[in-house]
Structure 1
């Protein structure tokens, strides 16, 4: 297709464009895949993240206006729950004000063929620009944002967040959800199901390891790995409980956790109380370029999701385990069993089952050939979900939308 000029808007201040989070990886790798296919992408970001010479495109900050930041500081002082502790309202009001500077930066950057926005709680600038310029607005939805914020975090201006979410989703030309489960969510928010398409998470080709070079499994030193953010919905408590149970069975087990988040302190505390601290390595947040080195040390990769009312994830960790040749032990949740068949490409368990996690990991430790066989099959599956393939799928959707066709 003809190369497009795309404005990519990420107004979420919790997602650095260059950073160690899975969300950062998603944004940057998808943008990289688009630019490698000949499109010009300009990213407008609330948090550009770390400086990097490896950026595939120009990144324009939208939350750096000094006057708005003075307002943010003033709001932080005004709204306090306790001395020195601002309420969420200060951040929420500031994020609404960022729409002004986002709109100005979009205007300055010139003409675009379409706007691609990662849905954030307070952003309407993409919709405003698309309406004025009469170009399509594509909105990517990765989570039930307002619902998630109210459940797991603080949200004071909930009615405003829901109103923003509803109008953006209703007015978007195309909604790109990362899983089938999110189609129901955007429909509840007023969007038409016929405007929604599934465009899941992918995996970078740089993640694919040479399986012949992977270290052989040592039953006397077995590294259990976890890659991802340390948040409640990722089953961090289950991870720690499973590791505790495995240590009771064998002193061979070690735990390697790659990622950071609010439950890091929980892991440290529980492992210290149970006498496990010396057998646990918390690597913290690492750059995406460092991830393959950590994956190479893992003998099993865990994704121990708990029972959730709605499983909306497209788990990046699963695809990166698969690409790197790390045998997968995961919950039978969402899209996971659809792509990674139990006992053929992964070992799957009912969400929340520590007993089954322990049993499956023990099998991998005591049957080295099993892990190698599962890893080979999973790797073949992962080759079908690379970012360049997903960029090609987006191209097809965009071309038909720009031509006024349906798909």
Structure 2
């Protein structure tokens, strides 16, 4: 009997990882894989027509997590259309939701109705909660004598396998633990890079009813997360709460007020500003601006990664003694120069090549397009050079198009996302590491502290980077890196060529950068500085 033919729509963050998982979750099928970018431009009826034309036995819509997908209703509506004899949603854990026209009428439409009511209730409750928090006086926390820190991880980013946020969370926790803290989690999903034998992890999974868009989904989940976290904390109290700022979630403020445990807020930027400039402005912008203001009002200590973010908080009325600037850092045992590079180079066809590398999530601020244009110049002068772009994101297609449009696509390898665990060996496989960050488009100060910067330094390779805010402060031109004006592809190409041609200079810069990062920028030092400030403020009493 022939294998059934299945068309798989890859609606996941990491298509490469999903492809590796397919033999496990969809065995015994002949698969036709369709990436999101192949159909993103199609109108609904054209999409239905395209899927019907495949004449497959099954249409599978693969998502990271059925409970976290922000537009589940759109996929349920698509599944009601007669595109294939069998249609269903599937997530990477293997959970399946059968779809059909009859199920759409009997199951999905009533669920939508209930979800609309719950979403409206969540908006009303959040509006009232924001009004209360902005009017309530700050409460005095008790000083923590115990060492139990609970990290509240409330974001709905299922499927995030790599990137600065993954590295940062792992690093912060490792630094705190090295300094003597006992760190546990209350989390929306399972964590990468964490050994469950060393950290308690209590899951607070979301529901599906409000999955119309990420705003109502996130606001409704905040109350659910708060309820589930309250149960966990009643069973095992926390001495201190730590929360990475989540624009949708206000559970940390409420739980801190209820338990009088000090609240440390990690603030990596205003989500309202980020969506206004790099994404889609919030539909309920007033609510999110109010939630941000409430967090800044009630947190006992706010940790930021850069001086521009400190300046932003001061401008919002936050007292200076409640702000701690801690730039990002690195684990120099994971990122180091002596990792085995042969397997990665062979697999990617890079043996015998000089490899110029970049790793990142291809955000608007990462400068991937600038690097692609510089690559055209370098490849034209040094045919043996290959560029290795590791990661995925919004600017990856544009960077690839720049190279393809100039008939230089063979000069670069784009790996897509790789798991965070594999990041160090990919960096070690590169000869020159590039950090081509660009300024903010509105002229405001660049407020980032790129984790890749410190990972590059620990890897001990020659670095070319933009002379931009903290990047130009951490790196020293001609001593630990070559610095170039941001967004200047000509200067970037010239600096890359200089390190390609002068291996001794590249080696000296790399060795000096690694020494500098060991002296100043490890996660252990990061954890000690955070706990020292908490002691200075009287928020903890243990040594």
Q: One fold, TM greater than 0.5?
A: yes
Q: Does 1:374 align with 2:503?
A: no
What corresponds to 1:57 in structure 2? Answer: 199
Cα deviation, residue 208, structure 1: 4.0
Whether the aligned pair in 2 keeps the contact of 1:150 and 1:158 (CA below 8 Å) is no
Aligned partner (choices 486, 493, 498) of residue 358 of structure 1: 493
After superposition, the C-alpha distances for 1:112-143 in whole angstroms (9 at most, x for unaligned) are: 11111111111110000111111211111112
Cα deviation, residue 56, structure 1: 4.0
Whether the aligned pair in 2 keeps the contact of 1:326 and 1:375 (CA below 8 Å) is yes
Q: Does 1:13 align with 2:136?
A: no
Cα deviation, residue 36, structure 1: 3.6
Measure the CA separation in 1 of the matches of 2:508 and 2:197.
Answer: 37
Query: How many residues are matched?
Result: 383
For the residue of structure 1 that corresponds to 2:365, the secondary structure is helix
Measure the CA separation in 2 of the matches of 1:212 and 1:49.
Answer: 25
Whether the aligned pair in 2 keeps the contact of 1:15 and 1:21 (CA below 8 Å) is no
What corresponds to 1:268 in structure 2? Answer: 400
Of 280-289 and 206-215, more deviation after overlay is shown by: 206-215
What corresponds to 1:398 in structure 2? Answer: 534
Q: Does 1:343 align with 2:478?
A: yes
Cα deviation, residue 209, structure 1: 2.2
Cα deviation, residue 59, structure 1: 2.6
Measure the CA separation in 1 of the matches of 2:340 and 2:154.
Answer: 41
Q: What are the residue-to-residue correspondences of 1:92-131 with 2, within 5 Å?
A: 92-110=215-233, 111-131=237-257
Q: Does 1:38 align with 2:180?
A: yes
Measure the CA separation in 1 of the matches of 2:157 and 2:492.
Answer: 32
Unaligned runs of 5+ in 1: 77-89
Cα deviation, residue 341, structure 1: 0.8
Cα deviation, residue 50, structure 1: 5.6
Whether the aligned pair in 2 keeps the contact of 1:166 and 1:190 (CA below 8 Å) is no
**Residues 55 and 367 of structure 1: is their aligned pair in 2 closer, same or farther, counting only changes over 3 Å?**
farther
**Residues 65 and 359 of structure 1: is their aligned pair in 2 closer, same or farther, counting only changes over 3 Å?**
closer
Measure the CA separation in 2 of the matches of 1:404 and 1:20.
Answer: 32
Question: TM-score, normalization: structure 1?
Answer: 0.87
After superposition, the C-alpha distances for 1:283-330 in whole angstroms (9 at most, x for unaligned) are: 222222211211121111111111322111111111111101121100
Measure the CA separation in 1 of the matches of 2:411 and 2:200.
Answer: 43
Q: Does 1:137 align with 2:263?
A: yes
Whether the aligned pair in 2 keeps the contact of 1:203 and 1:320 (CA below 8 Å) is yes
Q: What are the residue-to-residue correspondences of 1:8-407 with 2, within 5 Å?
A: 8-14=151-157, 19-49=161-191, 53=195, 56-62=198-204, 64-66=205-207, 69-72=208-211, 76=212, 90-110=213-233, 111-154=237-280, 155-210=282-337, 221-308=353-440, 309-383=444-518, 384-403=520-539
Cα deviation, residue 332, structure 1: 0.5
Question: TM-score, normalization: structure 2?
Answer: 0.66
After superposition, the C-alpha distances for 1:48-84 in whole angstroms (9 at most, x for unaligned) are: 356965674123333x243xx1232xxx2xxxxxxxx
For the residue of structure 1 that corresponds to 2:469, the secondary structure is coil
Measure the CA separation in 1 of the matches of 2:433 and 2:301.
Answer: 35
Whether the aligned pair in 2 keeps the contact of 1:48 and 1:60 (CA below 8 Å) is no
Measure the CA separation in 2 of the matches of 1:333 and 1:55.
Answer: 41
**Residues 146 and 210 of structure 1: is their aligned pair in 2 closer, same or farther, counting only changes over 3 Å?**
same
Measure the CA separation in 2 of the matches of 1:108 and 1:212.
Answer: 44
For the residue of structure 2 that corresponds to 1:129, the secondary structure is helix
After superposition, the C-alpha distances for 1:205-235 in whole angstroms (9 at most, x for unaligned) are: 32342469889xx9x8321100111111111
Unaligned runs of 5+ in 2: 1-143, 343-349
After superposition, the C-alpha distances for 1:331-366 in whole angstroms (9 at most, x for unaligned) are: 001122222110111000111111111111111011
Of 32-41 and 303-312, more deviation after overlay is shown by: 32-41
Measure the CA separation in 1 of the matches of 2:247 and 2:332.
Answer: 31
